[in-house]
Amino acid sequence: MIVRGNANPDLVGKAGRVTDFPDDCIYPDIAKRVILRDSGDHRLLPEFAVFAWNHPIVHNQILRRAKTSNGTLKINNRDVKQIVVPVPPIERQEEIVSLTLAADRMLDALEAKRFALTALKKSLMHDLLTGTVRVTDCDFTSSP
């Protein structure tokens, strides 16, 4: 799916992958369903297509073609067909997808860790500031 129109330029043309369309699925007119063609040597993995499509170089092509009406930037079918997306060999696409997914998992894990540490800090600060925990036996003479 591609965001066909939005008032926010950062969101116009952004893509996401939907793997299951229920029967009679209806989506808003600001979204565009794109089906990739498999043309032999120029095969494009759907996961890679989303990464490539959302890359700033491709997004700049989209923004150059977007037209505005009442403050909403929109792209049409012709605009989408004119976008140039790099298509490396399928093995390289698989490698890029694998590395990107691994980086995303690492970012998710680090974000979860940051959230847990922030919650721990808040809890410790609460204990300290309410007097639940008293700090004693501190040596302020040594320097780090």
Among the listed residues 97, 101, 85, the one whose alpha carbon sits nearest the alpha carbon of residue 36: 85
Print burial letters for 86-114: b (CB count within 10 Å at least 16), e (below 16): ebeeeeebeebbeeeeeeeeeeeeeeeee
Residues 6+ apart with CB under 8 A from 52: 58, 85, 86, 87
> How is the chain split into domains, by residue range?
1-87, 89-132
- pLDDT tens-digit readout, 22-38: 788 777 778 888 777 66
- pLDDT tens-digit readout, 45-80: 889 989 988 999 999 998 888 888 788 888 888 888
Distance of CA 130 to the CA centre of its chain: 41
